[in-house]
Structure 1
């Protein structure tokens, strides 16, 4: 018998939410019949996906917007498995190493480099609107800029500020879709005091300026409502 997976990735692109709900429920039951714990779930979504909150309510551990960088996907997988391993260890359960993806081993989940990037990602995710200085960030984390950028390249394929820029633009895209804030206000929410610099950075990621991105989203939503 093939062991049930600890992590299941669900591709939600072009999929109705109710179908995702049914698939997640069925996969959970199937895995529970083969092992004594519930698998974790990671969803792949479009940036304009309208049910992000419902995914968490459904029990999805995390999601990643498409298109994505392979190393970021691997990082999110490692993050989920790390949290799951810690939780299961507290319940006197240690997952066998062969159940983990090839690039993830029990030792890598507690590797000091991984713990450093976890701490950094957690801090930056909570301070997207603040001005970040690399030297000050390194002092807070107890490391130096060379080491920090090295581990970011190793795990995520980019420097710390490249990663921060991507996360800020993802947050900006979410605000453009879900809020009534104007472009200047959204720029400030993601750490840009100059809206022109913000627009340039946003266009590098999404190939359209913020105002056009918002209009495209509204047009897409209206067309979807008309179809329904």
Structure 2
């Protein structure tokens, strides 16, 4: 049997999943808005405040599915119809949620929120997670797969942006999205394994200060920031800031700052709308030469050649033969 015949056979065996999204408006005297979404293996969807407002959204599925919820901005709570337990998500948090057939999730958001949802079939999820991997929570009932939400790092956030901004179409876009979702799954499991090794010793008040520092870094990339200025703004001292930030996020303050600057500059480069000098200024470099040097050290190539390198070698980290295999599984 040829590769194309195998591919056709597998497509015939694909099961289509149906998601029903019900947008509930308690104030208006109208019927809830209902959207039906179909997918076979995976589906990515953005939720924005301007689309749904602060009204609850109820999600049901006709088959067992996994939902990866990324809270990009704002706050969100997720409640299952079969349980009283509520899962809370703050900005830059994510988790994997198992949604059994016949149950529903109600999502309530606050603030100027932005969520990214990735829905996965159980077949897809089990195929691309290690067979012997023991998730801390059971998949027999609706629950978060990780006991505590994980931190949405700049690298994970950038992968989500790559999927959204991808200008491929048709089968190539589908293949690209699939590869990126598999990459996300691998990085999430690796992140959880790393965080298990670090004891959670921070009080909630200390963790909130570190979240504030993280937000200040990410929202002011063009401004000069020092350990002392960040510590003062968060109401802590420099020693605690360096220790607690590393415990909570697995990276140093300056390591996170550099990663944010580089990932932001990478996003702007890919749009093709900005000159190198403009990007350097927007991520806090007074001199373009200093930015170019930092970029090359971080990514291994100059900003001027980055987009060409990405197109020919960086969109995928495997060869054409591997792409053909991926198309068939």
Q: TM-score range by the shorter chain?
A: 0.5 to 0.7
Instruction: State the partner residue of 1:20.
Output: 42
The structure that has the greater radius of gyration is 2
**What do the CA deviations read for 1:28-58 (whole angstroms, capped 9, x no partner)?**
596144865369758958759643369xxxx
From the superposition, tell whether residues 34 and 52 of structure 1 become closer, same or farther in structure 2 (CA, over 3 Å): same
Structure 1 counterpart of 2:163, from 51, 64, 70: 51
Counterpart of 2:105 (choices 37, 42, 54) is 37
C-alpha spacing 1:211/1:154, structure 2 compared with 1 (3 Å): same
8 A Cα contact 1:183 1:210, kept in partner: yes
Cα contact 1:202–1:209 (8 A) shared by 2: yes
1:212 maps to 2:305: yes
CA change 1:162–1:70 in 2 (3 A) is farther
How far apart in 1 are the matches of 2:304 and 2:158? 19
- Higher share in helix: 1
Distance in 2 (CA, whole Å) between partners of 1:126 and 1:45 is 14
| TM-score, scaled to structure 2 | 0.41
Secondary structure in structure 1 of the residue aligned to 2:241? helix
Q: Secondary structure at the match of 2:222?
A: coil
Partner of 1:143: 236
1:61-210 alignment runs, 5 A limit: 73-74=191-192, 111-210=204-303
- Structure 1 position 153, deviation (Å): 1.7
The number of aligned residues is 170
Deviations 1:81-131 (A, max 9, x none): xxxxxxxxxxxxxxxxxxxx89798x96x6223212211111211111111
Structure-1 residue corresponding to 2:131: none
Provide structure 2 residue ranges, at least 5 long, that are not aligned to the other structure: 1-38, 46-60, 68-96, 108-116, 119-151, 167-180, 316-329
* Alignment root-mean-square deviation, CA: 4.6
Partner Cα distance (1:131, 1:168) in 2: 12
Which structure is higher in RCO with an 8 Å CA cutoff and minimum separation 6?
Answer: 1
Larger proportion of strand = 2
